[in-house]
Amino acid sequence: MNAVSVGLLENTLNWRLPSKGHVGMWCLIAAEAAIFTIFVVAYLFYIGKSTTGPQPKDVLHAPIFYSVCLLASSLTIHIALLKIRAGEMAAFARWWLVTIALGCVFLFGTAREWNSLIFRDGLTISTNLFGTTYYSLVGLHAFHVTMGLLALITIALFFFTAKLRREHSDRLEVLSMYWHFVDVVWIVVFTVVYVIGT
Amino acid sequence: MSTTSIALTEVPASRPFPLHLHEWVTTVDHKRLGILYILLGVIFLAAGGIEATIMRVQLVRPHNDVVSPEAFNRMFTMHGTTMIFFVAMPLVFGFANYLVPLMIGARDMAFPRLNAFSFWMTALGGVFLYFSFLGGDGLYGAGSAPDVGWFAYAPLTAKTFSVGHSTDFWTLSLLSSDIGSIGTAINIIATILCLRCPGMMLGKMPLLVWLNLVMAGLVILAVGPLSAAQIMLLIDRYLGAHFFDTQAGGSAVIWMHFFWIFGHPEVYVLILPAFAFASEIIPVFSRKAMFGYSVMVLATIAIGFIGMSVWAHHMFTVGMSAGASTFFVLSTMAIAVPTGIKIFNWMATMWGGKIRFDAPMIFCVAFLFQFLVAGLTGVTLAVAPLDWQLGNSYYVVAHFHYVIVGGILFTIFAAIYYWLPKVTGKTYSERLARAHFWLFFIGFHLTFDFMHIPGLLGMPRRIYTYEPGRGWDTWNLIATVGVAFQAAGILFFAGNLVWSYLKGKPAGNDPWDAWTLEWSTSSPPPIYNYATIPVVRSRRPLWDLKHPEDPDWRYE
């Protein structure tokens, strides 16, 4: 049937190719990075171009605590992966839930910040260019955190229904790549919005 | 999975239609999705072609009033958007879907369900776009399609100037097709990097696979910015934001940058697969191995890189700084170098070969000549001072149609004729194909050769009519006459497909005596592609098989 098989060559036996999950996730990250780049460029381009107030330096306060929470979640998800690879499922679940909790704390921080900006400072997405670019960039990131959290929670549900096993660790690693990416994006957003922008 | 697939192929072909349809709608097979992509492209090609015909009929003589100015605006917007996003992209992705797994000896794409999702997102985008004819005005009955041009410059897209929902349909349509494009690009890259059969190192992949790898990389980097710009436009229109609102300090020029950061790499997304078809077809019909394989790969990668840094040559007339203009002039001219290398490589492949002028080859030869001309007018437009004179004139329109029709569409016809026997297992009529070629060739040259001239004489694009006595009349008449020839050619093409379906003879596994893996399996290929995964040792595995006394791997 298949006439091309010219017999087993020596390199057939040790033919190794990259994992498709990793390659696929790297490609998704590249595409997402391109989207974020455009939003970051728009933010930088419009700094100081708002025709009316409020201005960033008057209303923005760097959310240090919540940022530390999000960055720490990169560490906890990494530890969770080490645990599942070692077969310690209970420890894995603990670190996984800590990761989810840290992500939720971060989102709570964003919600609080938006609440005070909207109701105390009167800044909405249509107020001025600062509002437009700020809510879009931070909102796009928060949307990605939310998506990541939904994925993390799905895994937690798999764990609690006893469907998650040690051999799934490779797939969890692909998910963790996305989570690390979301954290790295936050470092860029934080720098642009709270350091350069003010 | 595999057991159900095998079971499906054993079901007799005389099933009731709904069952058949259900199977196609729910398919995750790369070959079926490839065919669906190509069918989607062909259907929208008819729609986009009708819109083009309406425009040419309107412009056939001065002061013509076949359509209103408003309808004319809708026609050129719909024509451009349709042809790029719902004809060229689906055709390109369709061939990539169908051929890449077969050519690398794989059984499917890396992520079959993502593949189906991507196709249906693209199809949804097309539905959004054309639904605007009905729903563009909201609920008032008579609708209106988008009329802001295919690059939709601000502030035309602002709520003030685009009331109703036509621009929203345009945005959602592009956003939806973007998601599909990125999904397919991820799939193509993961398939090529992770599913090659044993022995197929990167340097032994067919050129089509290499070119599609670079194409998918460009999609990953270029389509994101378009999506970002569409999201910003949606936020502007629905939430009252000010990204492109000049009244509130926003910038109309930044939309142009964001659009063309996508828009120019997109040209390479479309032309690289055209190069891919030529790089497979020309060697087979010249009976020679591809000349300069590694140089072709390097030139492709160079085009990929340089292609990301030429976008603002669409914006010379905006008035950029001298430094920026100079940079984009030089980068645009630089990209002619790797492209020129490719043209020389194809010619060197034909040189001294025993050329067979079957339909795929004649389309490719026409492509070589036409793409060269398109490239040369491109170099003239890269000269910023000349672009200030010719920007947004019919010279530009003629130039990019030379690329897209003369370059891309001609190779797509070549590819359809070349792989049709593999896809359907049936031959086509060579006589009908030749009639298709000559009619389309004559029509193409009548329309687009002569379209350069009114451009040089100052006729701007996108005008719905013009005054007599400016020296534009005859050229416009000739251009419109060419459309009739092109349409007749397309009818022969459609007729050929019907002929092949009704009367085509069994094509056999390898009708062209070709060398890449897809010709080693049956026509059409079984759902699993290969019963045993092939092992390759050179770039032309079937040559090695047919000539065991003189295999390629001795020389590579």
Which string of DSSP letters, residue by residue, matches B126-142?
HHHHHHHHHHTTSSSSS
Domain contains A53: no
CATH number for the domain that contains residue B419? 1.20.210.10
In chain A, residues 108-127 whose CB comes closer than 8 Å to chain B: 125-126
Domain contains A97: yes
Domain contains A90: yes
Which among B221, B222, B532 has the least Cβ separation from residue A2? B532
Mean pLDDT in residue range B512-526: 95
Mean pLDDT for all residues in chain A: 93
Cβ atoms B21, B80 nearer than 8 A: no
pLDDT at A3 over 50: no
pLDDT at B353 over 80: yes
pLDDT band at residue B140 under the 50/70/90 scheme: low
Mean pLDDT in residue range A165-194: 96
Domain contains A44: yes
B521 and A CB contact within 8 Å:
yes
Find the domain containing B443 and state its range.
2-554
Tell me the chain A residues in contact with residue B241 when contact means C-beta distances shorter than 8 Å: 125-126, 131-132, 135-136
A16 and B CB contact within 8 Å:
no
Q: Which residues contact B13 (CB under 8 A, 6 or more apart)?
A: none
pLDDT at B81: 97
pLDDT band at residue A98 under the 50/70/90 scheme: very high
Q: In DSSP terms, which residues pair with B333 in a beta bridge?
A: none
| Phi, psi (rounded to 5 degrees) for B392 | 60, 25
For chain B, what percent of residues have pLDDT higher than 70?
96
User: Which of B357-386 are b and which e, b meaning 16 or more Cβ less than 10 Å from the residue's Cβ?
Assistant: ebbbbbbbbbbbebbbbbbebbeebbbbee
Tell me the chain A residues in contact with residue B532 when contact means C-beta distances shorter than 8 Å: 1-2, 5
Distance from CA of B162 to the nearest CA of A (A): 19
Mean pLDDT for all residues in chain B: 93
Cα torsion for B255, B259, B260, B264, to the nearest 10°? 180
pLDDT at A1: 41
Cα–Cα distance, B342 to B300 (Å, whole number): 9
Q: Lowest-confidence range among A45-49, B4-8, B485-489, B538-542?
A: B4-8
Q: Note whether B194 contacts A19, CB cutoff 8 Å.
A: yes
Q: Which residues contact B480 (CB under 8 A, 6 or more apart)?
A: B56, B57, B59, B60, B447
Mean pLDDT in residue range B432-437: 97
Cα–Cα distance, A125 to A144 (Å, whole number): 19
pLDDT at B1 over 50: no
Q: Note whether A132 contacts B242, CB cutoff 8 Å.
A: yes
pLDDT band at residue B135 under the 50/70/90 scheme: confident
- Tell me the count of A-B CB pairs closer than 8 A: 150
Mean pLDDT in residue range B150-172: 91
Q: Note whether B535 contacts A4, CB cutoff 8 Å.
A: yes
Question: pTM surpassing 0.90?
Answer: yes
Whether the CA torsion B536, B542, B548, B550 is positive or negative: it is negative
Q: Which residues contact A144 (CB under 8 A, 6 or more apart)?
A: A32, A182, A185
Question: ∠ at Cα B317 (B247, B374), nearest 5°?
Answer: 135
Distance from CA of A10 to the nearest CA of B (A): 9
pLDDT at B20 over 50: yes
Number of structural domains, chain B? 1
Tell me the chain B residues in contact with residue A43 when contact means C-beta distances shorter than 8 Å: none
Mean pLDDT in residue range B297-307: 96
Q: How many residues does chain A have?
A: 198
In chain A, residues 136-165 whose CB comes closer than 8 Å to chain B: 136, 140
pLDDT at A10 over 80: no
- pLDDT tens-digit readout, B236-285: 999 999 999 999 999 999 999 999 999 999 999 999 999 999 999 999 99
Give yes or no for a cis peptide into B524 (omega within 30° of 0).
Answer: yes
SS3 label, residue B224: helix
pLDDT at B142 over 80: no
pLDDT band at residue B12 under the 50/70/90 scheme: low
pLDDT band at residue B509 under the 50/70/90 scheme: very high
pLDDT at B13 over 80: no
Distance from CA of B170 to the nearest CA of A (A): 19
Number of structural domains, chain A? 1
CATH number for the domain that contains residue A176? 1.20.120.80
pLDDT band at residue B134 under the 50/70/90 scheme: confident
Mean pLDDT in residue range B91-96: 97
What DSSP state is assigned to residue B309?
Answer: T
Mean pLDDT in residue range B531-555: 92
Domain contains A7: no
pLDDT band at residue A13 under the 50/70/90 scheme: low
Q: Lowest-confidence range among A12-21, A171-180, B414-423?
A: A12-21
Mean pLDDT in residue range B334-354: 96
pLDDT at A14 over 80: no
Which among A28, A45, A136 has the least Cβ separation from residue B254? A45
A88 and B CB contact within 8 Å:
no
H/E element, B77:
helix B69-81
pLDDT band at residue B555 under the 50/70/90 scheme: confident
- pLDDT tens-digit readout, B405-419: 999 999 999 999 999
- pLDDT tens-digit readout, A100-141: 999 999 999 999 999 999 999 999 999 999 999 999 999 999
Mean pLDDT in residue range B176-203: 96
Pull the structure tokens for residue B527.
């759902």
Question: What Cα–Cα distance (Å) separates residue B153 from each residue in B129, B233, B265?
Answer: 18, 11, 18
pLDDT at B216 over 90: yes
Cβ atoms B138, B159 nearer than 8 A: no
A20 and B CB contact within 8 Å:
yes
pLDDT at B446 over 60: yes
Cα–Cα distance, B449 to A76 (Å, whole number): 64
pLDDT band at residue A53 under the 50/70/90 scheme: confident
Domain contains A70: yes
Domain contains A34: yes
pLDDT at B554: 86
Cα–Cα distance, B353 to B379 (Å, whole number): 31
Cα–Cα distance, B291 to B348 (Å, whole number): 6
